Amino acid sequence: MSKKLGQKRRKLSQEFKQDAVKLVIDQGMKCTEAARDLGVDQNTLSRWVAEFKADGPAAYPGKGYLKPDDQQPKTLKPASNA
């Protein structure tokens, strides 16, 4: 599924992504089949599944929002003088 020049990128909701992932995880549908049925790229759906397995329901926070783990500032480690 390739984009044509000038074609806008679709913004899919968190609910759509979670429902798509449930087809694969809960119902045992193959990623390729689910992606084709939903009209999304197979690699995209595979990434959503991996993100959901790693982060659970907080996997798709939306544009401009951070996952709960990413909201805390990271501490920098001092550089080693090797």
And the tokens for 9?
A: 């990128």
Among 53, 29, 34, 57, CA closest to 44: 34
pLDDT value of position 8 = 76
**Entry pTM:** 0.65
pLDDT tens, position by position, 32-51: 999 999 999 999 999 999 98
Handedness of CA 12, 8, 31, 56 (dihedral sign): negative
Q: How many CB atoms lie within 10 A of CB 24?
A: 19
3-state SS class at 72? coil
Q: Provide the residue ranges of all domains of the chain, joining segments of one domain with +.
A: 14-60
Mark the ranges of the chain whose per-residue pLDDT is less than 50. none
And the tokens for 10?
A: 């679709």
